[in-house]
A and B are shown apart, each in its own frame.
Chain A
Amino acid sequence: MDWNLLGITFITVFLAELGDKSQLAAIALSSSNSPRAVFLGSAAALLLTSLLGVVAGAVAPQLLPVRLVKAIAAVGFAILAVRLLWPNADLPQNPKEIL
């Protein structure tokens, strides 16, 4: 285990991701949802992308076209945004109606 390299990677990735879109998404999603689910979902997704970066490396972008993947992600975020902004969308004011 190369601890020096581990530390350098940590600092690089940490600074690059600070305030980046996935962290903003985590802030936005956790403010109106179960924070544990958002944390686990976000951490699992980020772990998988970096695992793919290490294991599949140069092959990964060829397996899945990045442009298409990003377009799907954009649609996904748009759906989440619309669900939050839609008037009277499941506001947590009357939780008994959901049950």
Chain B
Amino acid sequence: MNLDILPTLSGESTTPPLVEAQTDSFIVVGDSSNTQQLSTKKKSFGAVFGSTFFTIFLAEFGDKTQLSTLLMSAKSQSPWSVFLGSAAALITTSLLGVLLGQWLANRVAPKTIKTLAGVTLLLISITLFWDVAQF
């Protein structure tokens, strides 16, 4: 697009510096966003997936949802209907949670969001310890 417009806008004498400036800025913008994306992805995807999976799996294991799924599937003749209903609900709630998290991350300062997230996880940890102590 720019290449089509450039020659007509600027005479032949000013074409080289304009093109240079444009390509320079383009490279800089593309480069920085690329490295940022790469670094966050490299740093976290596997680790974030793993830590999320294990903590949530262990926290939900033997929890009320798993027990009610078990009860419903035991009572009914089609356990797979229960599984699919439960699976769809759980995927929806995690999707809503992640969307809400992203919405918050775009509106609150990174430092504040880190503190809030840390406090929330700490509270979850405390309630889990409380559950263990109550047994």
Contacts and interface: CB of A to CB of B under 8 A. Distances in A.
Interface of A: 1-3, 5-14, 16-18, 20-54, 57-58, 60-61, 64, 66-67, 69-78, 80-85, 90-93, 95-96, 98-99
B110 to A, nearest CB: 6
B52 to A, nearest CB: 3
Nearest to A44: B53
B40 interface: yes
Given A47-B87, A47-B90, A76 B82 contact: no
Interface of B: 35-36, 38-46, 48-70, 72-74, 76-98, 100-102, 104-105, 108, 110-111, 113-122, 124-129, 131-132, 135
Contact of B110 (A53, A80, A91): A91
Interface SS of A by simple majority:
helix
A54 B82 contact: yes
Contact of B116 (A31, A39, A43, A64): A31
B81 A6 contact: yes
A69 B85 contact: no
A-B pairs with lowest CB-CB distance, top 5 = A9-B85, A41-B52, A26-B97, A30-B101, A66-B62
Nearest to A75: B125
Contact of A77 (B46, B87, B124): B124
A22 B60 contact: yes
A75 to B, nearest CB: 8
A22 B95 CA distance: 11
B81 A13 contact: no
Contacts of A10: 85-86, 88-89
A46 B62 CA distance: 12
A22 to B, nearest CB: 5
A95 B40 contact: yes
A25 B122 contact: no
29 contacts: A6-B84, A11-B89, A12-B89, A22-B94, A24-B124, A25-B56, A27-B104, A27-B120, A29-B51, A29-B52, A41-B51, A42-B94, A45-B53, A47-B91, A50-B65, A50-B87, A51-B87, A53-B65, A58-B70, A60-B66, A70-B61, A71-B128, A73-B58, A73-B59, A74-B128, A74-B132, A77-B121, A81-B125, A84-B115
